[in-house]
Structure 1
Amino acid sequence: MFKTIKKLFRALRETEALHGLLTWQPVQHFIWPLVGPVIAAVLGIAGNVPLLWVWVSALASFAFLTHGLLRLNEWIDRTSADGKLDIVEPTIWVSSDESSDPIEIEGVQIGVTLSNRALFPMEFTVDKIDTRFADRVGTTKNFANKGGVIAPNSASHFRDSAIQMNPPRPILERKAYDGQIDVTISYGKLGGRRFLVQRNFSISAFIDPTTKEMHINWRWI
């Protein structure tokens, strides 16, 4: 019994090694396209086929194999979720008291914009999100949910819990506030979140006290 199990595991390891070798990019790009022409040439010469037809069959098999490998790679790329979810940029939502003079910031929510570049819906879950604005951090994590589904070729947003500004911060002319967001997301096809994407952003934001428009500068760190 134990010998049979040992043989089975050995066969599985050999199969995985063979699969890794056959799908290795140098093998796919250089070896596989030559297999067909070589086999065609050997069979043609062994069967006393005229060399002209051996040459034509070798060229045809090379063309068929390279075209087939190209289409196979395109199909794999279209159906794979790997690298198809992007964390595009940070976003900020501000809660302010407009009755005060000057207007004061009472709370801030920092989040990210997510983009699904795949041709199929993408499921995601936020594994980690930490945010900071000015000298305050989000300490209470109250999420109705920590993920969702993004439609094909669409975008979505995810926000961290609100950061309470206590005491409130006044919105002053050209007064910039620094912040940061660190986020890690697992994603994949529906029911199969097998891939990870992680981004850290440094943020500098200020609000125009006249128009109440927020201006954000950010960079990856």
Structure 2
Amino acid sequence: MKGIVLSYNESLKEGLISGNDGNRYSFFNTEWKESELPSRGQQVDFTVNALDQATSIYVIHSSNNFVNQSLEPDLTQNHEQLKQEENYGFFDWVMKCIKLENYVNFTGRARRAEYWYFQLFQLLISVVIGIIAGLSGIDKLSILANIISVALFLPSLAVYVRRLHDVNRSGWWILISFTIIGIIPLFIWLIRETDPKPNQWGSPAK
């Protein structure tokens, strides 16, 4: 398959390629088969593995015109999306997280409002169900709470990963939360403002 390099992060040794099929594929530097480092705009030929990652990547040529034409629709679409989000309220952000295109989307970016409003939404649901269960004494409400928790687990994890992407951190950093002390840097990243630069996960979310 052919495509163009959208970005490459030397510190993370990871990059992103836009394929001619319209999909984006992440890659690791170990799959880069050229002596020069990857750079935005290089036209490449590559294969795709079972994890939808680019492998065996070779440079065909670089063409700034090709890159600009390829990126223009993405930039326009992103600009229109950001304009719409200027008027978003609480439920708009919640709906964005649970819509089909974002329900299990671990590849994009999410600004602070999107992440924290969704966390607030989950908290409110838990509080409301807890109050109703306490006043009514209906034990079956706990089953409903568990079902809702399971249903919201994947979009919650997805927006968590996208929020980290928005501050230029890999979603795999979530794993440091298991060290307990790792919760501190994770919290700092989650409350940080959007990184204004494009990265391998796309254009800034704000």
In terms of fraction of residues, the more strand-rich structure is: 1
- Same fold by TM-score greater than 0.5: no
Length-normalised TM-score, structure 2:
0.23
Answer with 1 or 2: which has the greater Rg: 1
Length-normalised TM-score, structure 1:
0.22
